[in-house]
Structure 1
Amino acid sequence: MSILGKIFTWWNGATIGTAIYNARHGTRVGEDHQGNVYFREPGKRDRAERRWVIYNGANDASRVPPEWHGWLHGTFDDEPESYLPPARIWEKEPTGNLTGTAGAYRPAGALEKGGHRARATGDYEAWTPGDA
């Protein structure tokens, strides 16, 4: 990404201002399996501790894994790996928000699936203003 893109766009990762703020105030806490990096700033007497994430790629909150989501919201203080039980074999990896992608749910009748739905069965009666 160009230097102008880094200065003016926030949706493609951290801006220059965020990087400077991280260097001055933030302490790196950890990184998840997607490459997102997590930071904290200790609280001062007049405000609480701040926690934030710098995304590796598109800024989408659904890309934060559940364990780090708990850390961001103050459920626990240390890195999530020390609080979580081992993963079970039946658990699936969390997925991001698939809305607007090819993997999004498309019910029968959706335009992306041809736009044909099952015909009504006759239990529907359209309302007209004169019938009231």
Structure 2
Amino acid sequence: MMGLFSEIFVWWQGQTMGTRFYTWKNGKPVGTDEQGNRYYEARNGEKNGGYPRRWVVYNGYAEASRVPPDWHGWLHNTVDTPPTAETYTAKPWQKPHRPNLTGTPRAYRPQGSIIRGGERPKATGDYEPWRP
């Protein structure tokens, strides 16, 4: 029952009932990425701003940073060919996609961060507090 409730009301945990219906009626599947996100294009050639209408149905939480760079380019009409239709080999210097970790326990915490457990370095003498 919670799955149906979530699909009707909770958009951030994947597709809603409206998205499911719209995708079923109007979407042409284009491909799936390594995270299980599914990508669609308008079956009837519908355009948005002069470009083909494209969208993603996330596998899990709807978090835009979970879209890999190659699919991001296709979604935003930077490239016309979806990654599934071309044979692309990443360059040795290119790193694999990582999601945005801000707000999670694995977020970057610089040296001296209170959350990291460090202490802030002492002021170097160039700081004068304002006193009214």
Match of 1:124 in 2: 127
- Tell me whether 1:54 sits opposite 2:21 in the alignment: no
Partner SS state of residue 70, structure 2? helix
RMSD: 2.1
Mapped partners of 1:108, 1:66: distance in 2: 29
Report if aligned partners of 2:65, 2:100 keep a CA contact under 8 Å in 1: yes
Larger radius of gyration between Structure 1 and Structure 2:
1
Return the alpha-carbon distance in structure 1 between the equivalents of residues 22 and 50 of structure 2.
17
Gaps of 5+ in 1: none
**Does the alignment pair 1:108 with 2:111?**
yes
CA distance in 2, matches of 1:29, 1:64: 14
TM-score (norm 1): 0.85
Q: Which runs of 5+ in 2 are unaligned?
A: none
Instruction: Give the paired residue count.
Output: 128
User: Which residue matches 1:98?
Assistant: 101
The residue type equivalent to 2:37 in the other structure is N
Instruction: State the identity as a percent.
Output: 51
Shift of 1:83: 5.1
- 2:31–2:84 Cα contact (<8 Å) kept: no
Residue 16 (str. 1) matches residue 25 (str. 2): no
The alpha carbon displacement at 1:47 in A equals 6.1
Indicate the residue corresponding to 1:28 in structure 2. Answer: 29
The worse-fitting range, judged by mean Cα deviation, of 120-129 and 9-18 is: 120-129
How far 1:90 sits from its partner (Å)?
3.4
Query: CA 1:20/1:54 → structure 2, altered by over 3 Å: closer, same or farther?
Result: same
TM-score norm. by structure 2 comes to 0.85
